[in-house]
Chains A and B, each alone.
Chain A
């Protein structure tokens, strides 16, 4: 049962109640996912990217808590109309956390997961195009690594549970 107090701020609550850019985008150029239902945390971003590599529009779907929904929503607003390069270099989990007015520390990983999903989308877009760029780091960024770690951990725990189930 949930025990840690979660004093969400008004901005997070507002984004939870009235999320912006919610829903699947049929004509998305690129779609990326971070997390999975086993973590209790999952975000899908849909980006429409134009020929100048600018993000024309962005939308999201989120399986997760209020912080997950709020950070996903704010990311779609922060990246609308900016270049992929700016989105890659300027959108960090810390900035996202600031934009939602701060989060309880136990919820930092929600912002990290949202930015992880965004960076995956950008990476995937250029991979699909077969383009390599000097600002696009070859190694996974902090947020991508964290997202991967969270997914791996959930898989590991699920596996361990299954094993225990079989031993019964």
Chain B
């Protein structure tokens, strides 16, 4: 198997330009962030932050400083509200399971939107085994959560509501503040969680303004390292830990703190927020160039998600009709453009992205979808190159499809 992959990689040799647009699934970590992390492996703070020696105290100091910085970027009341976890998946598991177990005597109902990420969907599926039930709130054709349906769904039995601040596939900026008011109006006891991984560093976000109880953020989604994230837990909100082990500085996550990753996550946050508006404007400009460039030059395409200010500044998601997505990702990879697809091609069960299905895309439209995320490190020439490559790639794949892929 590895031999095959080596051959695949050889087929990529001699590329004139490479443009990585798959920050949805993993990120390139910029050198300046890697360099910020390096001293924490073997020069300082490599000790366990709970222990009584210098490298331990150094670790304690930098972890506390990091929590302070991230707390200020998120608009928290205090740094103790930041709980580092090994990533978005773990933070979402902690939010949902931890709340379910902490409040199980109050109710059994969990409410999420239809377009929550897999790491929310699967946790709620799992919680059904423990007697919890899940209600999924529909979204409209642009991915906005139906607030009327949300209102109807909240009852005394509802322990937690989880709605992403920005949908990871569509870039839809959800009306979290309104949603929260609706929820708390009907049941003040209900905990409100938002996965803010795609909002943090991309749109203005302040947990105290929003009044959310729990919020997830992720390292790699802002170009930090993989394997680090955090769950904001508002002061006084009760979440139970979901893993057992040695508890250290992180009350909700056992095990030895990963200091270099925490430092990398913090550095990535600083870089994202240092010139927040400039960064956002830059991403928005590239996003629009990429999005409009495709929509204007290629026929039979559909934009997934909204246009304008209610779309995250980094997200482009387009369905290419009569074009299967996995084939297109390989074709583009061979030209140095790295993207992902909502196609179901890797699954025997044949179901494409649940998010695209939820906004009413037909299966054939979802199979031909491509998701791209721009970053502040991309330059205009990158997008120009992508816009040169995509039309030919789509044309070639459609040439193989011929008359066969028409509904």
Give me the interface of A with B, judged by CB distance under 8 Å: 1-4, 6-10, 13, 16-17, 19, 22-24, 33, 36-44, 61-66, 68-69, 106, 109, 150, 153-154, 157-158, 161, 165, 168
Partner of A63, one of B322, B329, B344, B347: B322
Q: Are B2 and A150 in contact (CB under 8 A)?
A: no
Q: Are A8 and B4 in contact (CB under 8 A)?
A: yes
Query: Which B residues touch A8, using CB under 8 A?
Result: 4, 8, 330
Q: Are A17 and B334 in contact (CB under 8 A)?
A: yes
Known: A1-B342, A168-B138. 5 other contacts (CB 8 A): A13-B7, A22-B400, A40-B326, A63-B322, A157-B363
Least distance between A30 CB and chain B CB atoms (Å): 15
Q: Is B172 an interface residue (CB 8 A)?
A: no
Query: Which A residues touch B345, using CB under 8 A?
Result: 2, 40-41, 64-65
CA distance A108 to B11 in the complex (A): 23
Given A9-B7, A168-B138, decide whether A61 and B350 contact each other with a Cβ distance below 8 A: no
Kindly identify, within residues 4 to 56 of chain B, every residue whose CB is under 8 Å from any CB belonging to chain A.
4-5, 7-8, 11, 24-25
Q: Are B348 and A109 in contact (CB under 8 A)?
A: yes
CA distance A37 to B405 in the complex (A): 5
Query: Which B residues touch A9, using CB under 8 A?
Result: 4, 7
CA distance A68 to B324 in the complex (A): 11
Least distance between A37 CB and chain B CB atoms (Å): 4
Partner of A3, one of B346, B349, B363, B403: B346
| Chain B residue, CB-CB nearest to A44 | B404
CA distance A40 to B404 in the complex (A): 11
Query: Which B residues touch A65, using CB under 8 A?
Result: 324, 326-327, 343, 345
Query: Which B residues touch A106, using CB under 8 A?
Result: 346-348
Report the stretch among B262-270, B303-311, B352-360 that lies at the interface. Answer: B352-360
CA distance A38 to B1 in the complex (A): 30
Q: Is B399 an interface residue (CB 8 A)?
A: yes
Least distance between B8 CB and chain A CB atoms (Å): 6
Q: Is B124 an interface residue (CB 8 A)?
A: no
Least distance between A124 CB and chain B CB atoms (Å): 16
Query: Which A residues touch B351, using CB under 8 A?
Result: 157
CA distance A109 to B344 in the complex (A): 13
Give me the interface of B with A, judged by CB distance under 8 Å: 1-2, 4-5, 7-8, 11, 24-25, 138, 169, 322, 324-327, 329-330, 334, 340-353, 357, 360, 362-364, 367, 371, 399-407
Least distance between A15 CB and chain B CB atoms (Å): 11
Least distance between B148 CB and chain A CB atoms (Å): 11
Given A2-B343, A8-B4, A109-B348, decide whether A37 and B400 contact each other with a Cβ distance below 8 A: no
Q: Are B5 and A2 in contact (CB under 8 A)?
A: no
Query: Which B residues touch A43, using CB under 8 A?
Result: 404
Interface centre among B24, B350, B367 (most CB of A within 10 A): B350
| Chain B residue, CB-CB nearest to A104 | B1
Query: Which A residues touch B8, using CB under 8 A?
Result: 7-8, 10, 13
14 A–B contacts, CB within 8 A, in A order: A1-B340, A1-B342, A4-B347, A9-B4, A13-B330, A22-B399, A22-B400, A38-B363, A40-B352, A40-B363, A62-B404, A69-B327, A106-B346, A109-B348
CA distance A69 to B398 in the complex (A): 12
Query: Which B residues touch A68, using CB under 8 A?
Result: 324, 327
Interface centre among B363, B403, B406 (most CB of A within 10 A): B363
Given A1-B24, A7-B1, A38-B362, decide whether A157 and B350 contact each other with a Cβ distance below 8 A: yes
Q: Are A165 and B360 in contact (CB under 8 A)?
A: yes
Query: Which B residues touch A7, using CB under 8 A?
Result: 1-2, 4-5, 8
CA distance A8 to B3 in the complex (A): 10
Q: Are B327 and A64 in contact (CB under 8 A)?
A: yes
Interface centre among B4, B24, B353 (most CB of A within 10 A): B4
Q: Are B327 and A66 in contact (CB under 8 A)?
A: yes
Query: Which A residues touch B340, using CB under 8 A?
Result: 1-2
Q: Are B4 and A63 in contact (CB under 8 A)?
A: no
Q: Are A1 and B25 in contact (CB under 8 A)?
A: yes
Query: Which A residues touch B399, using CB under 8 A?
Result: 22
Partner of A13, one of B11, B347, B362, B402: B11
Q: Are A37 and B406 in contact (CB under 8 A)?
A: yes
Q: Are A1 and B324 in contact (CB under 8 A)?
A: no
| Chain B residue, CB-CB nearest to A168 | B138
Partner of B405, one of A1, A2, A63, A168: A63
Q: Are A19 and B400 in contact (CB under 8 A)?
A: yes
Least distance between B113 CB and chain A CB atoms (Å): 13
Least distance between A129 CB and chain B CB atoms (Å): 25
Given A1-B341, A37-B364, A158-B363, decide whether A66 and B350 contact each other with a Cβ distance below 8 A: no
Q: Are B400 and A69 in contact (CB under 8 A)?
A: yes
